[in-house]
Amino acid sequence: MSEPVTIYEVGPRDGLQNEAGFVPTADKIALIDRLSETGLTRIEATSFVSPKWVPQMADAAEVMAGIRRAAGIRYAVLTPNLRGFQAALAAGADEAAIFASASEGFSRKNINCSIAESLERFAPVAEAARAAGLPLRGYVSCIVECPYDGPVAPAAVERVTAALLGMGCYEVSLGDTIGRGTPKSVELLLASLSRSIAPSLLAGHFHDTGGLALDNVGVALTYGIRTFDSAIGGLGGCPYAPGAKGNVSTLALARRLAAEGWDTGLDLAALERAEAFMAGHIAAAYRAADSALSLNR
């Protein structure tokens, strides 16, 4: 039997958060419902962040209330602070994620504080997650390069990853936020990280700006990583990471893994349907927003 690899769908959150036009809440819900029919077991549905910072996620509670929850799927959300965590809990999230950066520049732009301050802010969130019995995931952004500070040293990634695991995160997702990672730089990072951190505690989160995300997944597989984040239709980016393109596409990743003999448990035809839905309905919302913008110009 082939070895399992988990695909962690982040399209509804990481994918949509970067879109300028507001995607109607009903379309977000319909997208998540379609993703729930594909065999995925983990879907990051939204984020409980400040709507002033990311207006696209302002409907987080409505999205969580509207989705049809399928058995066996954990619906996760991003929480930047205790307030976000409490809102996530009230909305019935199955899992929360805290997100730090390996670079100071991105930390300040993304969450308006230093790395050290962010870790202090996350400590009570981790405590609350433990008390509530909610699985907590961690993210480390800018694992190879930061749009503000340039190249990032593996030691910086290791420090933040270890801090998040020390707080109780069951897994830390390593984010190539601006998609500049190459098989060489990812290899260099993982060779260093793997000396102190077990691959079962790590996930790969590769944006595809440079078109190398699938190759970077390949390198991570050789280091024993078995969980990868991706977004339906390759949606994505980060509003605070200029130049960041979409996450690696879920369908492309699922096809590549299947072709290499890994077992993702995903139904490729159902993924195609979810991608077609996304391309039709949600792209139409973007077009409507774009034409409204051009009419206003």
230 counts as binding ligand HMG under rule CB under 6 A: no
Spatial CA neighbour of 133 closest among 98, 168, 83: 168
Is residue 46 at the binding interface for ligand HMG, with CB under 6 A as the rule? Answer: no
The catalytic position among 142, 146, 169, 238 is 238
Q: Which is nearer to ligand HMG, 182 or 258 (CB)?
A: 182
Q: Does residue 122 belong to the site contacting ligand HMG (CB under 6 A)?
A: no
The sign of the torsion formed by the CA atoms of 287, 231, 209, 144 equals: positive
Q: Closer CB to Mg ion, residue 9 or residue 14?
A: 14
Residue 39 to residue 46: CA distance in whole angstroms: 19
| Site membership for ligand HMG, residue 110 (CB under 6 A) | yes
Helix and strand numbers (H, E) in the chain are 11, 10
Using the minimum distance from each CB to ligand HMG, give the nearer residue, 169 or 296.
Answer: 169
Contacts of 88 (CB under 8 A, 6+ apart): 48, 60, 64, 77, 79, 96
By a kind-dependent CB cut-off of 5 to 8 A, residue 17 interacts, out of ligand HMG, Mg ion, none, with ligand HMG
Q: Are 97 and 137 in contact (CB under 8 A)?
A: yes
Q: Report the 3 state secondary structure along 145-193.
A: EECCCEECCHHHHHHHHHHHHHHCCCEEEEEECCCCCCHHHHHHHHHHH
- Residue with Cβ nearer Mg ion (77 or 128): 77
Smallest separation (angstroms) from ligand HMG to the CB of 110? 5
Q: Which residues pair with 137 in a beta bridge?
A: 97, 171
Interacting residue with ligand HMG among 32, 49, 63, 225 (CB under 6 A): 49
Please name the residues in contact with 73: beta carbons below 8 A apart, sequence gap of 6 or more. 36, 40, 41, 42, 43, 94
Which of 34, 36, 56 shows the shortest CA–CA distance to 46? 56
Task: Give Cα 56 to chain centroid, integer Å.
Answer: 15
Q: Is 238 a catalytic residue?
A: yes
Which of residues 52, 211, 259, 269 is near ligand HMG by CB under 6 A? 52
Residue in 77, 111, 213, 274 binding ligand HMG, rule: CB under 6 A: 111
Q: Which of 99, 122, 228, 277 is in the footprint of ligand HMG by CB under 6 A?
A: 99
Residue 28 to residue 13: CA distance in whole angstroms: 9
Here the tokens at position 81 are 């602070």
Residue 240 interacting with ligand HMG (CB under 6 A)? yes
- Asked if 54 touches ligand HMG (CB under 6 A), the answer is yes
* Choices 41-49, 127-135, 146-154, 284-292; region in contact with ligand HMG by CB under 6 A: 41-49
Q: How far is the CB of 207 from Mg ion (least distance, A)?
A: 6
Q: How far is the CB of 249 from ligand HMG (least distance, A)?
A: 15
**Tokens encoding 41:** 């077991």
Residues that bind ligand HMG (CB under 6 A): 14, 17, 47-54, 78, 80-81, 83-84, 99, 110-112, 139, 141, 175, 177, 205, 238, 240
Which residues have a catalytic role annotated? 238
